[in-house]
Structure 1
Amino acid sequence: MTRPRAQRPRLPETSGAQRRSHLAWNGGMKGQSRPPAEAATAARCTVDGCGSEATGPAPTAGMVPVTGAGDGAGAHWWCAGRCAVLARTRAELRAVPMRSDGGR
């Protein structure tokens, strides 16, 4: 029967040089990391008609029509601000041609 190998005890960092070396290695960080921020990544828009299909006149004043990408997506009405920017960005990203392996 073989005996398990004994684990070498962890030596404490007692000298100043050891502590400085450890902080330099960790980029000055020590202890527990902080918890992630409690922030919503995307909040729902509260403007009536934002994101509705652009089949007729704008549902609310100040709405911007954003056409979809070339993959057949139709135009939608978005409020002039963050929503319109996100919609345009999404349409531009969808317009990037697909690679042969299925990625963009």
Structure 2
Amino acid sequence: MSAIQTVARDGIDHGSTRGYYQHRARKVLPSCQPCRDAYNAANRAKRAEAQRWNRGLVGPPAPPRPVPTGRECPADGCGELTSMPQPSTGMVAVSWPGSREPDRWYCAGACATYGRALAEVRAIEVGRG
């Protein structure tokens, strides 16, 4: 025996996400409860998958950590975010357009060079695959 499939008279595939979108496209609103339930279940699954991909992280990102300059710098405030006031005279604000590295204060010289290189490297687009 073959399975008998019933189709609603309105041509909507009820109880599925397809049915939910058919309700919207045909302006048969509000959508029936089985179609809304299927749509909500699909959205919950998408959100769960997105959280798995993002390792469970949600909300705004955590503030960046202080960045070591590769050597111990005796200057106070070297590597601090520029959202803080300038730590001392002679500090250089380092930023790079499109960089994922936030703007930071560095002392002039080797630390500032390190900061520019770090910001430039973090501006490179990484392909997701």
TM-score by length of 1: 0.49
Bigger share in helix: 2
Normalising to structure 2: TM-score of the pair?
0.40
